[in-house]
């Protein structure tokens, strides 16, 4: 059994590691040169892309920004899961917003911008605090601009006038004052079975995910059901197969969709140690037509991203319940280099484990760790 992943980063790597015990061999395509590589060793494989497409049982993606020709080629094989429509929706904020509107799913108020001068009307309608997002190719907060007040508008317009907005429009969103960010990661099989992980609470810093706590504390049944109902609508409309992540802003009892990711997701990495079956295995099961695995939580887990940090000691592995996942990538500023999964019996214990980790790692790279630990101690 074999699966080809478009993209050869850490998500493809974690799929390969999860597939191995099931006898599923996972290969990856480096989308920069269309060469096939082993996603763990990163060694090039001599098979051509075309022969791999022919050979494998299923093709999937680790990110949504797949070059058009590669997407068309893999789509025409009939093996691509999730569908090309789902991938294109996740890759294009205009398509995504249109789908949310069509399904009457609450989301952040927005305007589509194809001329910089439309920003004046956007400010008049949405208020002067805006987040402006490129509709394609953004991730980890890249391709975003923040408008804090009307006074900054002329300078921002000047900056944005360099872009070809007819080719890649912008989405101007109202900057929301939400209570917190949550995400739902769930998996749908080709038969339409769905297995949901619990909502995770996500903490961002400078537009990048730093910490996920799962299950998210203080979630009542109604909130969980609201998230699952939104997932169901999206997944059935897209006839979705595989793991799909939905990012939310919570305001009081209401969830607004921020965005969707048609793939395994950073806020689902906690499942590697905190759930019966991890998201990577479940994604492979779905795209290979196997029964889905249990998504039962085995312990409250904190996932802590290691971002931009170069040298890394391993001494923190003495902390009970601390698991390190190191991706083996070349260090770069703001690059995700790895993550920790911390598991404990309950939230206060998890808080203590996070405090223990904070003793080993430099504060500057882990700005959310201590405050979040303190919050968990009080639960």
Q: For 253, which DSSP code?
A: T
The β-bridge relationship of strands 208-214 and 242-251 is: unpaired
| Longest Cα–Cα distance in the chain | 59
Is residue 251 close enough to count as binding ligand ATP by CB under 6 A?
A: no
Is residue 116 within 8 Å of 157, Cβ to Cβ?
yes
Q: How far is CA 195 from CA 187, 188, 232, 233, 322, in A?
A: 5, 7, 11, 14, 26
Q: Quick one: what does residue 338 bind among Mg ion, ligand ATP, none, with the CB cut-off 5 to 8 Å set by partner type?
A: none
Which range binds Mg ion by CB under 5 A, 114-122, 196-204, 243-251, 262-270? 243-251
Question: Given the rule CB under 5 A, which of 46-54, 62-70, 242-250, 263-271 is the region that contacts Mg ion?
Answer: 242-250
Nearer Cβ to Mg ion, position 30 or 181?
181
Should residue 175 be labelled a site residue for ligand ATP when binding is judged by CB under 6 A? yes
Does 308 sit near ligand ATP (CB under 6 A)? no
**Which of 35, 207, 335, 377 lies at the binding interface for ligand ATP (CB under 6 A)?**
207
Q: Which of Mg ion, ligand ATP, none does 326 bind, CB closer than 5 to 8 A by kind? A: none
ω into residue 82 within 30 of 0, thus cis?
yes
Q: How far is the CB of 30 from ligand ATP (least distance, A)?
A: 20
Does residue 62 bind ligand ATP (CB under 6 A)?
no
Which tokens sit at 354?
């996070």
Q: Which is nearer to ligand ATP, 250 or 353 (CB)?
A: 250
Choose which of 9, 19, 138, 262 interacts with ligand ATP (CB under 6 A).
Answer: 138
372 interacts with ligand ATP by CB under 6 A: no
Distance of closest approach, residue 377 Cβ to Mg ion, in angstroms: 28
State which of residues 140, 152, 224, 276 lies at the interface with ligand ATP (CB under 6 A).
140
Least Å from the CB of residue 262 to Mg ion:
13
Is residue 169 near ligand ATP by the rule CB under 6 A? no
Interaction residues for Mg ion, span 66-125 (CB under 5 A): none
231-250 residues near ligand ATP, rule: CB under 6 A: 247
Q: Which residues contact 116 (CB under 8 A, 6 or more apart)?
A: 157, 160, 161, 165
- Axis-axis angle for helices 369-377, 347-358 (nearest 10): 150
Residue burial 233-256, b: 16+ Cβ < 10 Å; e: rest: bbbeebebbbbbbbbbbbeeeebb
Q: Interaction with ligand ATP in 252-291: which residues (CB under 6 A)?
A: 258-259
Q: Are 185 and 279 in contact (CB under 8 A)?
A: yes
205 or 312, CB closer to ligand ATP? 205
For strand 58-61 and strand 2-6, is the pairing parallel, antiparallel, or unpaired? parallel
Site for Mg ion in 246-305 (CB under 5 A): 247
DSSP letters for 255-322: EEEEEEESS--GGGTTHHHHBSS-HHHHHHHHHTTPPPPP--B-S-EEEEEEES------GGGGSTTE
Please, which residue, 247 or 372, has the CB nearer to Mg ion? 247
Least distance in Å: CB of 216 to Mg ion? Answer: 16
Residue whose structure tokens are 């001068």: 117
Cα 233 off chain centre by: 19
Provide the minimum distance between the beta carbon of 193 and ligand ATP in the complex, in angstroms, as a whole number.
27
Binders of Mg ion: how many residues, by CB under 5 A? 1
Quickly list H helices, the chain.
10-19, 49-55, 68-76, 84-91, 93-102, 118-126, 153-160, 221-237, 271-274, 279-287, 347-358, 369-377
Q: Which of 92, 111, 181, 372 binds ligand ATP (CB under 6 A)?
A: 181
Radius of gyration of the chain, Cα coordinates, nearest whole angstrom: 21
Footprint (CB under 6 A) of ligand ATP, residues 116-135: 131, 133
Q: Which residues bind Mg ion (CB under 5 A)?
A: 247
Q: Which residues bind ligand ATP (CB under 6 A)?
A: 108, 131, 133, 138-141, 173, 175-176, 181, 204, 207-209, 247, 258-259
């Amino acid at each position: 059994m074999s699966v080809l992943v478009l993209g050869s980063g850490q998500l493809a790597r974690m799929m390969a590691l999860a597939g191995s015990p099931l006898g599923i061999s996972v290969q990856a395509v480096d989308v920069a040169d269309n060469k096939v590589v082993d996603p763990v060793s990163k060694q090039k494989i001599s098979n051509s892309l075309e022969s791999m497409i022919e050979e494998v049982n299923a093709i999937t993606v680790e990110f949504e920004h797949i070059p058009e020709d590669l997407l068309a080629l893999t789509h025409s094989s009939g093996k691509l899961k999730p569908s090309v429509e789902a991938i294109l929706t996740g890759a294009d904020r205009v398509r995504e917003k249109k789908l949310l509107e069509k399904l009457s799913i609450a989301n952040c108020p927005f305007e589509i911008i194809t001329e910089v001068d439309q920003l004046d009307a956007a400010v008049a309608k949405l208020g002067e605090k805006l987040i402006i997002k490129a509709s394609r190719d953004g991730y980890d907060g890249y391709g975003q601009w923040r408008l804090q007040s009307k006074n900054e508008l002329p300078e921002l317009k000047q900056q944005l006038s360099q872009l070809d907005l007819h080719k890649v429009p912008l989405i101007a969103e109202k900057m929301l004052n939400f209570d917190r960010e949550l995400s739902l990661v769930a998996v749908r099989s080709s038969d339409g079975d769905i297995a949901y992980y619990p909502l995770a609470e996500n903490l961002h810093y400078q537009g990048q995910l730093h910490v996920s706590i799962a299950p998210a504390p203080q979630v009542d049944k109604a909130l969980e059901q609201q998230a699952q109902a939104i997932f169901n609508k999206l997944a059935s409309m897209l006839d979705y197969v595989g793991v799909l992540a939905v990012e939310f802003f919570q305001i009081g009892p209401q969830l607004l969709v921020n965005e969707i990711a048609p793939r395994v997701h950073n806020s689902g990495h906690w499942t590697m140690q905190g759930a019966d079956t991890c998201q990577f295995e479940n994604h492979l099961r779905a795209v290979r037509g196997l029964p889905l695995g249990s998504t039962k939580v085995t312990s409250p887990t904190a996932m802590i991203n290691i971002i931009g940090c170069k040298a890394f000691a391993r001494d923190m592995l003495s902390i009970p319940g601390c698991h390190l996942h190191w991706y083996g990538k070349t260090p770069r500023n703001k690059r995700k280099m790895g993550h920790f999964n911390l598991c404990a019996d309950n939230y206060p214990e998890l808080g203590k484990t996070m405090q223990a980790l904070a003793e080993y790692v430099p504060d500057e790279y882990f700005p959310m760790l201590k405050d979040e630990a303190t919050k968990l101690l009080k639960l």
